[in-house]
Structure 1
Amino acid sequence: MTDKEDCLLCRVTYSIFERFPDVPSGMVINVETGNFFPLATLRSYSSGRDMVEALGVAWACQCSEDWFDQQFVLCDSRGNVLRDTYYTVRFSDNRFMHGVTDAEGRTRRYRTNGARSIHLYLGHKQGA
């Protein structure tokens, strides 16, 4: 935990999953990406903020003033917008998320707790 008090969402999320029974094959979903991941991974986090971020509901978190919230526009070398293009994002903690740009070449918004590097890889289709 940090020295700042966590918001209600983070406290409740941590409280639920900290006490949740061990289910070896249990899975949870990141609601933003639709990706499933092991419940044990979620339970391994030491803060509600980490859990909320992993579950894809960090946009509702109110406990940090240090959030960075970025969206990117992908273009080719000529400046043409890359519409409907598959991409993969790798965060500094080696988590991956997949997405497809919209009609204006925009990615979804990515939120990090503080300044963190985000790497974008083009052409990576989820499950490929």
Structure 2
Amino acid sequence: SRSATADERRAFGVLLGELVRSSLEPWTEAWPRLRADPLGRADALDEGEARWLFEEHCRAQEARSRKRFEEALEERLLRVGAEDAEGALEALRADAAVAAVPEEWRQEWWQEWQRKRSEDRGAKRARET
């Protein structure tokens, strides 16, 4: 079987953007819907290549979600005061960009963000002394 062209892969990427809105959607649920595309944008790809592109799409979606989460958290901290991080996280639950993120990810990202913030403050104090 031949490899899909760059244009065919791009067309499939557009299809992924149209149909796969959640990075949590399982491949087994997405693939039949992708194959049913009336424009046939999945036809030129074998299932292995399509799955790889699907997984890349989901990773990119997760990265965008994480970035939006961190930006929303930083913005909220500026509004409520830099030291009220717990209050900022609680207030973020109403933010649409954050609400779309699974709770497990929010907790993981929150802990990583706090760790990074603590390291940044420690480095700043070290530079000041």
Bigger share in helix: 2
Larger RCO: Structure 1 or Structure 2 (Cα < 8 Å, ≥ 6 residues apart)? 1
| Bigger proportion of residues as strand | 1
For the aligned pair, the TM-score class normalised by the smaller chain equals: under 0.3
TM-score, normalized by length of structure 2?
0.27
